[in-house]
Structure 1
Amino acid sequence: MELEVKTLDGSAAGSITVSDEIFGLEPRTDLIHRVVRWQLAKRQAGTHKAKGRSEVSGTTKKFVRQKGSGGARHGNRKAPQFRGGGKAFGPVVRDHGHDLPKKVRALGLAHALSTKAKAGSLIIVEDAKAGEAKTKALKEKFGKLGLQSALIIDGSELDANFALAARNIPAVDVLPVQGINVYDILRRNTLVLTKAAVSAIEERFK
């Protein structure tokens, strides 16, 4: 598959041939959904906690006699039905993450990239560099490219000025190629890859 390469100013800068096995697949939403669920589950803190009846402070003394009171039989005040008692089946600290095979994760990434390519929401730029860390100047360049909601993926190292200038623009994320992931690709309307990022992605899938 051949894609047009642009500069940050919006002018043409030749073309690049990309792998059909990464950017030319017929997107499978079931694979993408599995990877997104895995990512979001892994991201959950799982630090929510409620005290059970064995953890709340209180006496275990039998407070009413077994028979003759006309009420129910109770052993102690820490039972869930009493005020100040423990929570029945409350949340506990746990890990929400689950396993997902590496091959499925890799395939999910390829299908996410193919989704953007098929929708025409993939832009290849020559590089992502800025002469100075000026948000206003970078925003003007993004306007020429038609970027409003975008994920920009550069090579292994980000240009410091570009990253500083972009971080204050709403709905624009900048990541090194190591940080590329399915969820971030899908949450922005446009995916912008530098030529260095394309090379690194294709090398990763070999």
Structure 2
Amino acid sequence: MKVKVQKIDGKASGDIELSKDVFGVEPRADILHRVVTWQLENRRATARPTRERSDVARTGKKFGRQKGSGGARHGDRGAPIFIGGGKAHGARKRDFEQSLNKKMRALGLKMALSSKAKDGLVVVDSLALKDAKTKVLKGHFDKAGFTGKVLVIDGESVDEGFKKAAGNLPGVNVLPAMGANVYDILNHDTLVLTKDAVAKLEARFNG
């Protein structure tokens, strides 16, 4: 499938042929949902446990008499009602890590790229800027018609000048090709790929 290539300021810069095996896959909501859920769950930190009655270092010796004190009966300083006692029905340690096989993860990324290829994909020749300033880059984005949240993916590494210029633009995020992932692609309105990024992504799936 052939798409137009443009410069970062929106001017035309030829065409590029995109692999149908990577950018022409029919998206499936269930697979995309599964991959995004896997990503977000694996970002979660392990839930910290609280100390319950059996976890606190308090004496189990009965204090006071059973009868005659005028107070309630107690037999353990580790009871939840005492200072230093264990938490009643406290939170337990929870690990949210999930596993997902490589084929499913790769298929999810292909589907995310394909969904953007239908609507929201822009290919640029490079991210090199003559004047790497935020104001200049914002002007280029306005000319090119980039609206909403924009994800820019470069090749092996992101151009340093572009990264600094884009750092102050709200809603603009930059990644190298190796960092491309389903959640970030779907969570942005516009996906901008450099020609190097296209080559890296296609090579990633073609071995």
Asked if Structure 1 and Structure 2 have the same fold, meaning a TM-score greater than 0.5 normalized by the shorter chain, the answer is yes
**How far, CA to CA, are the matches of 1:101 and 1:187 in structure 2?**
22
Q: Return 5+ residue gaps in structure 1 as ranges.
A: none
Q: Quickly say closer, same or farther: Cα 1:23–1:86, change in 2 above 3 A.
A: same
- Which letter maps to 2:134? T
CA distance in 2, matches of 1:75, 1:18: 74
- Once the two structures are superposed, residues 139-190 of structure 1 have per-residue CA deviations (whole angstroms, 9 ceiling, x without a partner) of 1111112223110000002111100000111110001101111111111111
Greater shift in the superposed pair: 193-202 or 73-82 = 73-82
Q: 1:142 to 1:83 in 2, by over 3 A?
A: same
Identity of aligned residues (%): 54
Match of 1:21 in 2: 21
- The residue aligned with 1:78 is 78
Q: Tell me the TM-score normalized by structure 2.
A: 0.88
1:24-63 → structure 2 map (5 Å cutoff): 24-63=24-63
Q: Which residue of 1 aligns with 2:12?
A: 12
CA apart distance, 1:117? 1.4
Cα offsets for 1:18-75 (capped at 9, x unmatched): 1112111111111111111111111112152312223335332224666899999754
Q: Paired residue for 2:113? A: 113
Counterpart amino acid of residue 110 in structure 1: K
Partner of 2:137: 138
Query: What is the SS of the residue equivalent to 1:62?
Result: coil
Cα 1:197–1:56, aligned 2, differ >3 Å: closer, same or farther?
same
Distance 1:67 1:29 in 2: 67
Matched, 1:171 2:201: no
Going from structure 1 to structure 2, the CA distance change for 1:71 and 1:109 (only over 3 Å counts) comes to farther
CA–CA distance in 2 between the matches of 1:89 and 1:102?
39
Counterparts of 1:88 and 1:112, CA distance in 2: 45
Cα separation, partners in 2 of 1:81 and 1:11, compared to 1, 3 Å: same
CA distance in 1: counterparts of 2:124 and 2:63, whole angstroms: 75
The one-letter amino acid paired with 1:85 is G
CA distance in 2, matches of 1:64, 1:133: 77
Q: 1:64 to 1:116 in 2, by over 3 A?
A: farther
Task: Give the alignment's TM-score, normalised by structure 1.
Answer: 0.89
Partner of 1:200: 200
Match of 1:95 in 2: 95
Q: Which moved more, 1:51-60 or 1:124-133?
A: 51-60
State the AA in 2 paired with 1:122.
L
CA distance in structure 1 between the aligned counterparts of 2:113 and 2:66, rounded to whole angstroms:
68
Q: Aligned-pair RMSD on alpha carbons? A: 2.3
